[in-house]
Structure 1
Amino acid sequence: MLRFMPVGDSMTIGSAGEHTWRHRLWQHLRRSYGGPFTLVGPRETLYDKVADAPTSYAYADPGFPRAHLAGWGEGWLHMAPLIGEAVRSCRADVLLVSLGLIDLGFYTNAEQTAENVRRFVAEARAANPRVRIVVLPVIPNVRAESDASFAAQVTRFNELLAKAVADLDEPRSPLLLASPPPSYDIHLDTYDGTHPNASGEHRIAEAFAEAMYQAWDVGDHYGD
């Protein structure tokens, strides 16, 4: 049983009424992956915007393994201290990580965020020395269109992220940098310039799926 753990911020937890990219990836793997697998994590809920809390179970399609480690407003800063116990308790084999936008927006600069990436990887490997990790670069959001300094921080962090992945990759615990979702357009693939709509969910799922297929022969091309 291959155990995937989605790790992320508001784009990964999703909000009430959505499918989430987690669901889209599960559908893809169910069609394309030959062996048993599941999604794992210490959390299951969506974010409820009315309650301003992660308390909703109102998935558009609740019939899938809803477990994850994602939180609205959480980043590398928040997940680095949590990932070791999550990997250990949920026996995660593969981490699918989409983090960084919230860090750069509110908490840490590019260099500090990159240090938290390295801490995250170290903590995950301490819990499972053979854990595999796929990391998605930060997708610039609507703020990056009007805030040049923020856009520069996103670009700088993505450079540092690529370096961290290259530095930390090792055969027994592969670390893989996914390519940004192809043709991702924040004006078409999000509902507010940041959070994915249905097409955005598919594009993020595709980015993870293609990375795993091309590097590790897991599943198939997205949509095949």
Structure 2
Amino acid sequence: MLRFMPVGDSMTIGSAGEHTWRHRLWRHLCVAYGDPFTFVGPRETLYDKQADAPTSLAYAEPGFPRAHLAGWGEGWLHMAPLIGDAVRAHRPDVLLVSLGLIDLGFYTNAEQTAENVRAFVAGAREADPRIRMVLLPVIPNIRAAADEPFAEQVDRFNVLLAKTVADLDEPRSPLLLASPPKEYDIHTDTYDGTHPNARGEHLIAGAFAGAMWEAWGLGQAYAAGTD
């Protein structure tokens, strides 16, 4: 059974009442991937905005493997120290990683964030030398649209992320850089300029699915929906 671990920030954990892109990807893989698979990780909850804590299980559709390693306000800086133990405990075959916005917004510049990517990869490989990883660049967000210096840091990090993937990729533990969704629009695909609505969830799921299909022949091309 192929085991996926979604790793990310608020766009990956999602909040109470949402489907999340994790659910959208699971539904896609149920149709597209012929072999058994599941999602694994040390966490299961959504973020509860009223409680200001990750304590909700109120998924729009809860009947799917909800495990993940994602946190509201967490980035590469926070996940790098956690990934080794998570990989050892939950034995994922593939990490699906969407991080960076929080780091650049609050903690580290582009170069420092790229160094934390390297630490994350090293930690994951120390736990499992054959692990595969799909990394999504920072996608459009409202701060980058309004803050030119921040947008420059995002662009710089995405360049460094691509270089890091090229530098660290190896046959026994492949790194795959997903392409950001070309049609992603903060006005139509988010509910607040950053967090994905239903259409945005499909686009993020499609970015991961498309990368794995094109590079590894896993599944098939993503058929986006808006439900």
- Give me the TM-score of the superposition, normalised by structure 1: 0.99
The aligned residue for residue 99 of structure 2 is 99
The aligned residue for residue 208 of structure 2 is 208
Deviation at 1:183, TM superposition (A): 0.3
Deviation at 1:140, TM superposition (A): 2.6
The aligned residue for residue 169 of structure 2 is 169
The aligned residue for residue 26 of structure 2 is 26
Cα separation, 2, equivalents of 1:141 and 1:223: 24
Q: Percent identity?
A: 80
Q: 2:87 corresponds to which letter in structure 1?
A: V
Cα separation, 2, equivalents of 1:188 and 1:36: 34
Q: 1:74 corresponds to which letter in structure 2?
A: E
The aligned residue for residue 154 of structure 2 is 154
The aligned residue for residue 77 of structure 1 is 77
Equivalent residues, number = 224
Deviations 1:184-211 (A, max 9, x none): 0010000000000000000000000000
- C-alpha contact (below 8 Å) 1:140/1:151 kept by paired residues: no
1:8-27 equivalence runs, <5 A? 8-27=8-27
Query: Where does the alignment leave 5 or more consecutive residues of structure 1 unmatched?
Result: none
Cα separation, 1, equivalents of 2:172 and 2:27: 28
Cα separation, 1, equivalents of 2:181 and 2:50: 30
Cα separation, 2, equivalents of 1:179 and 1:123: 24
Backbone CA RMSD of aligned residues: 0.7
Deviation at 1:171, TM superposition (A): 0.2
Cα separation, 1, equivalents of 2:96 and 2:85: 16
1:17-166 equivalence runs, <5 A? 17-166=17-166
SS at match of 1:82: helix
Deviations 1:94-121 (A, max 9, x none): 0000000000000000000000000000
Deviation at 1:146, TM superposition (A): 1.4
Cα separation, 2, equivalents of 1:182 and 1:143: 19
- Give me the TM-score of the superposition, normalised by structure 2: 0.98
